[in-house]
Amino acid sequence: MNDVAYIALGSNLGDREQHLMRARSAIAELRDTRVIGVSAIEETDPLGPVDQPRYLNQMVAIETALAPRELLAELHAIESSEGRVRRERWGPRTLDLDIVCFQRQTVDDPDLRVPHKELPQRAFWQRELDELRSHAP
């Protein structure tokens, strides 16, 4: 079953724009997936208690036949390819990819919640979703 997924991209280490560009390209290459929308890039303050650089954030809308867990595994592989190392929660990272929501699916498991539980607290995600949805076919 195809569904539309909204993926948040964020980077605050290294060449942030290049990390986002390569992530967009890698997402576009996923099997049974096509990018149908890309939001503007926005710079935001980091969240959480760790002192760290500002983030570049962006969101992509994809049409995909991948199940939520399959998509998450693919996104983790893309993060790893960009040098992401999971050390501390809310810490700095070369690339962070989050499934924000699907158009028709939800997931409520301990290690995967869709819509993402932080969506209500992240105004930039809400702006990016609004931008993508306003240009949807």
Q: Which residues are catalytic?
A: 84, 93, 96, 98
Report the alpha-carbon distance of residue 29 to residue 88 in Å, rounded: 29
Omega before 92 within 30 of 0, i.e. cis: no
Q: Round to whole Å and give the CA distance between 106 and 44.
A: 27
The full length of the chain comes to 137
